[in-house]
Structure 1
Amino acid sequence: MSKSLLIISRQPPWSGPTAREALDIALAGGAFDLPIGMLFLDDGVFQLSTAQQPATLQQKDLGANLQALPMFGVESLYASTRSLQERGLEQQKLHLAVELLDDAGLTALVARYDQVITL
């Protein structure tokens, strides 16, 4: 039986390659039917925003990668309620439907997974 993996993405989408790498790990794991969850935390919640303008920074849009997560079997998607609120993001304006978790919910989530990677 495969061990479950939680990927915690804490970086904004355009500060470097970290956000894309987190998505790539999730997509690769999903392609191999690994039980994977993805948590967007801190500035990582900016990846979920539909108001991104990547062309301004001559970057590729991460929206397509985000939309591909469920198609690759990565359906356990979470975001920190506090992180969204602190950054003025509304759940209705996100690329994906995510389960919002408070601090207690985040602790419980991490405890459910066998392995955790933070990027």
Structure 2
Amino acid sequence: MARSMLLISRQAPWAGPAAREALDLALAGGAFDLPLSLLFLDDGVLQLTSGQQPQQLQQKDLGANLQALPLFGIEQLYASQRSLTERGLQHAELGLPVQRLDDDEVRQLLASHDLLVTL
């Protein structure tokens, strides 16, 4: 039986390799049809903002990887409403459709998966 995995992305897109590694892991899991969900938490929600200009920081754009998630069968995308609110992000600023979860829903999501991976 396949085990469900929740990948938790907590890092800003420009704060180091963790954000890219989380997306690479998600895409690899999707390519092998693993039951995978992705939760953007803390500074990880900053990955969701559209119109980023990573070239100014000599970083690669994660936008294409984010847009490819549904193509790889990863449609269970979540974001912490608290994290979005704390960073002043509105729904219209997000470049990817995610289900926004309150703190109780985040706890339920964590409990509903067999494996948790945080990057």
Query: TM-score, normalised to structure 1's length?
Result: 0.98
Give the aligned length.
Answer: 119
| 2:38 corresponds to 1:38 | yes
* Structure 1: stretches of 5+ with no match in the other structure: none
For residues 25 and 102 of structure 2, the distance between their equivalents in structure 1, rounded to whole angstroms, comes to: 25
Q: Secondary structure at the match of 2:96?
A: coil
Q: How does 1:5-24 map to 2 (within 5 A)?
A: 5-24=5-24
Note the alpha carbon deviations across 1:67-118, whole angstroms, 9 max, x for none: 0000001100000001000001111211110000000000000111110001
Letter in 2 for 1:4: S
For residues 10 and 51 of structure 2, the distance between their equivalents in structure 1, rounded to whole angstroms, comes to: 18
Letter in 1 for 2:104: A
Q: Secondary structure at the match of 1:39?
A: strand
- Counting aligned pairs with the same residue, the percent is 66
Map of 2:100 onto structure 1: 100
Following superposition, which runs of at least 4 residues in structure 1 exceed 3 angstroms of deviation?
none
Q: How does 1:26-105 map to 2 (within 5 A)?
A: 26-105=26-105
Letter in 1 for 2:33: D
Cα RMSD for the two superposed structures: 0.6
For residues 35 and 92 of structure 1, the distance between their equivalents in structure 2, rounded to whole angstroms, comes to: 28
Query: TM-score, normalised to structure 2's length?
Result: 0.98
Q: Secondary structure at the match of 1:59?
A: coil
